[in-house]
Amino acid sequence: MSGFELEMNEYLPLRDVVFQTLRQAILRGELKPGERLMEIHLAQKLGVSRTPVREAIRKLEKEGLVTIEPRRGAYASQISTDDMVEILEVRQNMEGLAAFFAASRMKPEQMRELEDVSKKYNQAVADGNMQDMITYDTRFHRIIVESCNNKILVQMIEQLQELVLRFRYIYYDNFRRAENMPEEHQTILEAIENGDADAARQAADIHIDRLKDLIIREGV
């Protein structure tokens, strides 16, 4: 069984804490695609009864993160190359638009944070530090989205974020895939810094397009 612990929260009922703990374990890849979710083992590991575990598994099935099959039981849903390409297709359109808006709407303090996060991401790639790569890659794109000042677009991208998080954990499992990403991030950053909306959108588009090509070529 993968290494994760109950993420206690004094403001949430136990069933919700169990649900959030298992949900994050799947999104982070601590429960890997195809891994069996056995109620009794999970209950023992988390130090709870089987009831909140059973409820959490059923709720996760509704979200598509768990698959339940007769005679096979419950397991963390597989994520295929097609799934990942679909996620990237949606990201490509929405984040390209966010970069377009960010070029004229990003505040100076957001620009400084974007530069700082970009440097930290580059260092993580140089060090081969997967967790930091995921943290700073996520933050890099989130700053751009936050700065676009379009509430509808932000809400749409937020709905996609957790699927993107699961994608990142699978994608960065081979950190060498990230070798060209510092340069791609820099191109996006410079276009935004120069206030060139069309260039920012194109750079964001090319960045996601290259990710799609890698996924299609190499698979999950």
Does the model's pTM come out above 0.75?
yes
**More reliable by pLDDT, 70 or 175:** 70
| Model confidence pLDDT, tens digit, residues 83-98 | 889 988 999 999 999 9
pLDDT value, residue 64: 86
> Inter-axis angle of helices 151-171 and 81-105, to 10 degrees?
130
Dist CA 85 CA 79 (whole Å): 10
| Model confidence pLDDT, tens digit, residues 141-196 | 999 999 999 999 999 998 888 778 888 887 777 656 677 889 999 999 999 999 99
Going by pLDDT thresholds of 50, 70 and 90, the confidence category of residue 2 is low
- Asked if the model's pLDDT at residue 218 lies above 80, the reply is no
pLDDT value, residue 177: 67
